[in-house]
């Protein structure tokens, strides 16, 4: 019973950390990387479709992404979707290729991005704490139903706290790496 709750909590916390890591890949560090555009959705025949399903995204050089839509009529919608994504990117169309130059990050913009990263980290930590709270309330419910003893309750709460601490440390490590990456341009 307790092991199941702890296992479920650990799994859900791990998913929160993964989600945080994915959120970090969307925050640019001045280098061109296709994952920056991963979350962009394009209107394709009135259906919202991920960019990577309507075009090929490649790295042209260290500061430029090139996007080749599979249909010529998709150039406009792809360009519009990139501008709407609010990433601070200005796509440039050259024939049937859209080039997205990465502007150099100013000191002020880097500080803003660090604030965004910290906000994402805090949101991930809140999610992990909510999972801990859910697990603890499941333990208390099991105690109320007389499925576990008070000693087992304390043991379960200690286990879930250790897992919580470990996942929060993981988030802090990822945060530290991303901050250093952002500020060392």
Architecture of domain 2-25+106-183 in this structure: Orthogonal Bundle (1.10)
For residue 88, name the pLDDT band (cuts at 50, 70, 90). Answer: confident
CB 48 within 8 A of CB 89: no
C-beta of residue 42 within 8 angstroms of C-beta of residue 74: yes
Residue 166: closest CA among 63, 16, 36, 29:
16
Q: Are 81 and 49 in contact (CB under 8 A)?
A: no
Tell me the average pLDDT of the chain.
87
pLDDT > 80? residue 18: yes
Residue that is written with structure tokens 């709750």 in the block: 5
Is pLDDT of 179 > 70? yes
Helix H or strand E encompassing 6 = helix 2-25
pLDDT of residue 136: 93
CATH topology classification for 34-101: Gyrase A; domain 2 (3.30.1360)
- Give CA–CA dist 125/122, Å, rounded: 5
Query: Which percentage of the chain shows pLDDT scores above 90?
Result: 33
Terminal Cα distance for the chain, rounded: 50
Q: Do domains 2-25+106-183 and 34-101 have the same CATH topology?
A: no
Arithmetic mean of pLDDT, 55-84: 86
Which tokens belong to 60?
Answer: 């042209």
pLDDT tens by residue, 25-44: 877 666 777 777 778 888 88
Side-chain-facing half-sphere of 82: CA atoms under 13 Å: 27
The pLDDT of residue 29 = 66
pLDDT digits (tens, 9 = 90+) for 108-161: 878 888 888 899 999 999 999 999 999 999 999 998 988 888 999 899 999 999
**Is the pLDDT score of 13 beyond 80?**
yes
Q: What is the pLDDT of residue 80?
A: 86
Sheet order of strands, 92-94 included: 55-61, 64-69, 97-101, 92-94
Q: Helix 150-183 crosses helix 107-144 at what angle (to 10 degrees)?
A: 170
Are the C-beta atoms of 5 and 131 separated by less than 8 Å?
Answer: no
Q: What span, in angstroms and rounded, lies between the C-alpha atoms of 140 and 20?
A: 29
Q: Between 84 and 12, whose confidence is greater?
A: 12
Give domain limits for the chain: 2-25+106-183, 34-101
Residue-level pLDDT at 19: 92
As separate numbers, helices (DSSP H) first and strands (DSSP E) second, the chain gives: 4, 6
Q: For residue 75, what pLDDT is reported?
A: 87
Using the predicted structure, report yes or no on whether residue 15 has a pLDDT greater than 90: yes
């Amino acid at each position: 019973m307790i092991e199941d709750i702890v296992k479920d909590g650990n799994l859900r916390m791990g998913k929160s950390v993964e989600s945080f890591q994915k959120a970090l890949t969307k925050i640019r560090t001045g280098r061109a990387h296709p994952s920056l555009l991963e979350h962009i959705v394009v209107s394709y025949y009135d259906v919202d479709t991920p960019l990577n399903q309507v075009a090929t995204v490649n790295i042209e050089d260290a500061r430029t992404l090139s996007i080749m839509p599979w249909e010529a009529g998709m150039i406009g919608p792809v360009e519009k979707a990139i501008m709407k994504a609010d990433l601070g990117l200005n796509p440039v169309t050259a024939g049937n290729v859209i080039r997205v130059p990465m502007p150099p990050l100013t000191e002020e913009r880097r500080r803003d991005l660090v604030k965004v990263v910290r906000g994402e980290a805090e949101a991930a930590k809140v999610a992990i704490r909510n999972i801990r709270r859910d697990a603890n309330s499941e333990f208390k419910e099991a105690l109320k139903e007389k499925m576990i003893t008070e000693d087992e309750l304390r043991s379960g709460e200690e286990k879930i706290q250790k897992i919580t601490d470990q996942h929060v440390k993981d988030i802090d490590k990822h945060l530290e790496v991303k901050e250093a990456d952002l500020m060392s341009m």
